[in-house]
Amino acid sequence: MSAKPISLQPFAPRVFSGVQPTGNLHLGNYLGAIKRFAELQHRHDCVYCIVDLHAITQAPEVWGGPEGLMRATREVAAAYIAAGIDTKKHIVFNQSQVAEHAELAWVFNCVARMGWANRMTQFKEKAGKDRENASVGLFAYPMLMAADILVYRATHVPVGEDQKQHLELTRDIAQKFNNDFGDRIRALGLASGEYFPLAEPLIAGPAPRVMSLRDGTKKMSKSDPSDYSRLNLTDDADAIVQKIRKAKTDPEPLPSEPEGLKGRPEAENLVTIYAALEGSDPAAVLRQFGGGQFSAFKSALADRAVASLAPIGAEMRRLTADPAAIDAVLAEGAARARAIAGPVMAEVREIIGFIRS
CB closer to ligand TYM, 141 vs 297:
141
CA–CA separation, 13 and 329 (whole Å) = 24
Q: CA torsion sign, 236 to 30 to 16 to 164?
A: negative
CB of 357 to ligand TYM, least distance (A): 32
Give one word for 303, left, alpha or beta, with left for phi > 0 and alpha for psi -120 to 50. Answer: alpha
Of 219, 248, 262, 298, the catalytic one is 219
For ligand TYM, the binding residues (CB under 6 A) are 16-20, 28-29, 32-33, 51, 54, 145, 148-149, 157, 159-160, 162-163, 208-210, 219-220
Which residue lies nearest ligand TYM, judged by its C-beta?
Answer: 32
Determine whether 64 is exposed, middle or buried from the number of CB atoms within 10 Å of its CB (0-12, 13-18, 19+): middle
* 35: annotated active-site residue: no
* 129: annotated active-site residue: no
Which residue type sits at 356? R
**Count of other CB atoms within 10 angstroms of residue 157:** 22
CB of 284 to ligand TYM, least distance (A): 21
CB closer to ligand TYM, 32 vs 255:
32
Output the furthest CA–CA distance in the chain (Å, rounded): 73
CA–CA separation, 284 and 169 (whole Å) = 37
CB closer to ligand TYM, 220 vs 241:
220
CB of 50 to ligand TYM, least distance (A): 9
CA distances from 98 to 28, 197, 277, 340 (A): 27, 21, 34, 10
CB closer to ligand TYM, 5 vs 313:
313
* 222: annotated active-site residue: yes
CA–CA separation, 232 and 303 (whole Å) = 16
CB of 102 to ligand TYM, least distance (A): 12
CA–CA separation, 105 and 140 (whole Å) = 8
Of 89, 129, 164, 222, the catalytic one is 222
CA–CA separation, 75 and 123 (whole Å) = 25
CA–CA separation, 251 and 133 (whole Å) = 43
Of 35, 126, 243, 298, the catalytic one is 126
CB closer to ligand TYM, 190 vs 272:
272
CB of 263 to ligand TYM, least distance (A): 20
Catalytic residue annotation? 126, 219, 222
